[in-house]
């Protein structure tokens, strides 16, 4: 069975103190037995403090981005080695906002995955189609191309990679893909991963759904075939909502 995961992507929200308060509220409200792995991805500026707070708890720290370069004269970049040295275990790569506003695609994303692999950080690799692409029936082709452009040729085990299907038209818009639409696309991704890595690895990689997941739709989405959890944006900024989403797995 693929591991069940709920990850919170705070994006460029919260100041450090607010981020710590949010983390404390999440930790304080978590039931002792969780039905899934929980990951928090704060902005870089709060990572160190959040990591210290999470140490020894069941919640794991993740970053929202990583440099495609290993080290050197790349002003403003944060390398995979730096993240690993801080204790980061997961990193989001290829989020649609990075693709849209920072023109990240293809080789850049592939190199980010290589950098993470070198230091043992697990990528949460995001794919998803725009509204125009869905309306013209290209969602499957778009997502398969995004996987093909960046994924490594081989994996040693299924826990080295997490994929997140995030239809761009559903991110931060309040429009959620229907459970059937999401499950259909997760099935397309699952088949591709099996084809790429074989069933013992490709069949076990966690595939998360992201796009306006809220407490009232999480349980239904998470009950669908091949939906192994969620990447949560807006609702991850509210501890009560995020906890309700985590509890949707119980
Ligand atoms: C996201 O940014 O990854 C996301 C899914 O955002 P939201 O939950 O706000 O749609």
pLDDT tens over the chain, length 250 residues? 999 999 999 999 999 999 999 999 999 988 777 889 999 999 999 999 999 999 999 899 999 999 999 999 999 999 999 999 999 999 999 999 999 999 999 999 999 999 999 999 999 999 999 999 999 999 999 999 999 999 999 999 999 999 999 999 998 888 888 999 999 999 999 999 999 999 999 999 999 999 999 999 999 999 999 999 999 999 999 999 999 999 998 6
In this prediction, residue 68 carries a pLDDT of 98
Residue nearest to atom 8 of ligand 1 (CA): 233
* pTM > 0.85: yes
- Which residue has a Cα nearest atom 4 of ligand 1? 233
Q: In ligand 1, which atom is closest to the CA atom of 170?
A: 10
Q: How far is the CA of 120 from the centre of ligand 1 (A)?
A: 25
Spatial CB neighbours of 207, under 8 Å, sequence gap ≥ 6: 2, 162, 163, 164, 165, 186, 189, 190, 193, 226, 227, 228
What pLDDT does residue 38 have? Answer: 96
Output the CA 200–ligand 1 centroid distance in Å. 30
Ligand 1 pocket member 9 (CB < 6 A): yes
pLDDT given for residue 176 in this prediction: 84
């Amino acid at each position: 069975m693929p591991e069940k995961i709920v990850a919170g992507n705070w994006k460029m929200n919260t100041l450090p103190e607010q981020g710590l308060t949010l983390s404390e509220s999440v930790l304080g409200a978590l039931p002792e037995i969780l039905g899934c792995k929980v990951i928090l991805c704060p902005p870089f500026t709060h990572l160190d403090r959040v990591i210290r707070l999470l140490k020894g708890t069941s919640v794991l720290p993740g970053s929202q981005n990583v440099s495609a370069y290993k080290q050197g004269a790349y002003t403003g970049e944060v390398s995979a080695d730096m993240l690993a040295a801080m204790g980061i275990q997961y990193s989001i790569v290829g989020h649609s906002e990075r693709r849209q506003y920072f023109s990240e695609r293809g080789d850049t994303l592939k190199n980010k995955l290589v950098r993470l692999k070198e230091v043992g950080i697990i990528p949460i690799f995001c794919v998803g189609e725009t509204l125009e692409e869905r309306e013209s029936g290209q969602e499957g082709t778009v997502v398969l191309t995004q996987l093909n452009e960046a994924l490594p040729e081989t994996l040693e085990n299924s826990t080295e990679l997490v994929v997140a299907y995030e239809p761009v038209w559903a991110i931060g818009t309040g429009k959620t893909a229907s459970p059937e639409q999401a499950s259909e696309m997760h099935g397309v991704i699952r088949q591709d991963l099996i084809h790429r890595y074989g069933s013992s690895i490709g069949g076990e990689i966690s595939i998360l759904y992201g796009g306006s997941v809220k407490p009232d739709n999480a349980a239904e989405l998470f009950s669908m075939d091949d939906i192994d959890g969620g990447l949560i944006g807006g609702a991850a900024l509210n501890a009560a909502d995020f906890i309700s989403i985590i509890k949707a797995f119980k």
